[in-house]
Structure 1
C-alpha cells in the first residue's frame, strides 16, 4: 500500500459506506474516523458531544452568518457564540490534525476529501447504490418499516448533500470529484474494499 495514504469515503445513506470504511481499516490495520470525530471535535470546541452530534453532516446553517462558507478556512476565533459554521471549522482543524499525526487512516464523510485537498497520497471514493437496494438494506440493518426506511434514506441523502455543498462549494456525489465511484449493490462490501486497496497500491 502507498505509504501515508489517507482514504476518504463519501456515501449515500444505506449504501454501506461506513461498513466499507471499517472493512478497509480492518484489512489494512489502520484507524477509521467517522463518528469517532465527535468526541475530538467536542473537546476542541468546548461543546457537548450531543451538540456536535446534532450538527455533524446536518445543514443547520447559522442565522448569524447566513451565507455559504465555500472552502473551509482556518483562523476563526471560537469565543462568543458557537455557530454551526465555526463548529465546522473546528472539525476541519481536527481532521487536518489527524491526517498529520496518522501514518494512514480512513475518513468516512465529514467533507474530509475536500478539507484535505492537495495533500499527497489522498484518495477519494464515492459509494452509492440504487435507492431500492438502500431502502431494503436499511430496513434489514435497522429493523425499520419500508416507509420509515424510505423516509430516512431521502432525509439523510438530502442532509449530506446540502451540508457538503454548503460548506465546500463543491457538488456532493459528482463523479468528477472522486478517484472512483463504487456501486455496492453490484460489488458488495468485500469486493469494494479490495478494489479500493488495489487502487491505492
Structure 2
C-alpha cells in the first residue's frame, strides 16, 4: 500500500534532512521542515529566530507536560505558554500542508498533527557510527571538530524535549515509529531508496 505522508524524526548528524530533501527531489512530493517555521512566522508575525528560541525552551518536566496537555485538551489556549502557542500553530500549519496532498514532514511532531490521517508512515533516522556522524556534522554545518559533540548533544536534547513535552512519548523509543533507518549502515542513498518505494 502506498503512503501519502511520511513524517521524519532524526538525530542531529544522521543526514535526515538531506534524506528528506533528496526524497522530495526524486518523487516530486513536497518536503516541509523549515517551511513550517516560515509559515508560522508569517501567520503570527513572529521572527523564525524567536520561534526557534521558544522550541529550545521546551522542558521535559513531567509537571509541565501534564499542564500543557491538560490545557490543550481543555481548549484553553489562553493559558498556554509561548512555547505552547507555537506548538499549536505548528500543528495547524502541518495539517494545512497535508490538505494539499502527499507530503514529507521533517520534525515538529508532525506525526502528532496527522493522527487522524490515513497512510502516515512514521520514520526515525539515526546514525550508529559516531565517526560518520561527526564527519557529516562537520561537512554539513562547518562546525569545528572540538565543538561537534557539544552541538550534537544540544540539538538532540532540544528535539527530544520538544517531542516529549508535546506528545508525552519518548523521542528515541523506536517502538513509536513504523520504520527506523540507520544512515551509517545503509547510507543516505539507501535510506532514500527505501522511502521512495513508499511514495510510489
Scaled to the shorter chain, the TM-score interval is 0.7 to 0.9
* Residue among 64, 67, 76 paired with 2:64: 67
Report whether the alignment pairs 1:139 with 2:138.
Answer: yes
In 1, the alpha carbon distance for the partners of 2:76 and 2:33 equals: 24
Q: Give distance in 2, aligned partners of 1:114 and 1:50.
A: 23
Give how far 1:75 is off: 4.5
Does the aligned pair in 2 maintain the 1:18–1:108 contact within 8 Å? yes
Alpha-carbon deviations, 1:107-147, whole Å to 9, x = none? 01111012212410101110001233211211222222222
Give 2:95's aligned residue.
Answer: 96
Q: Is the 8 A contact 2:7 2:107 kept in 1?
A: yes
TM-score (norm 1): 0.86
Q: Which moved more, 1:67-76 or 1:110-119?
A: 67-76
Deviations 1:130-186 (A, max 9, x none): 233211211222222222111111111111101100111011021111111000011
Compared with structure 1, are the counterparts of its residues 60 and 170 closer, same or farther at alpha carbon in structure 2 (3 Å cutoff)?
closer
Deviates more, 1:8-17 or 1:41-50: 41-50
Where do 5+ consecutive residues of structure 2 fail to align?
Answer: none
Residue 107 of structure 2: aligned partner: 109
Is the CA contact 2:13–2:134 (under 8 Å) kept in the aligned structure 1? Answer: yes
SS of equivalent to 2:34: coil
Structure 1 vs Structure 2 CA RMSD: 2.4
- 1:129 aligns with 127
Give deviations 1:49-88, integer Å, cap 9, x for gaps.
33123334x2435xxxx7213496594556x996111111
Distance 1:46 1:144 in 2: 31
- Secondary structure at 1:14 match in 2: coil
Offset of residue 30 of structure 1: 1.2
Distance 2:25 2:74 in 1: 32
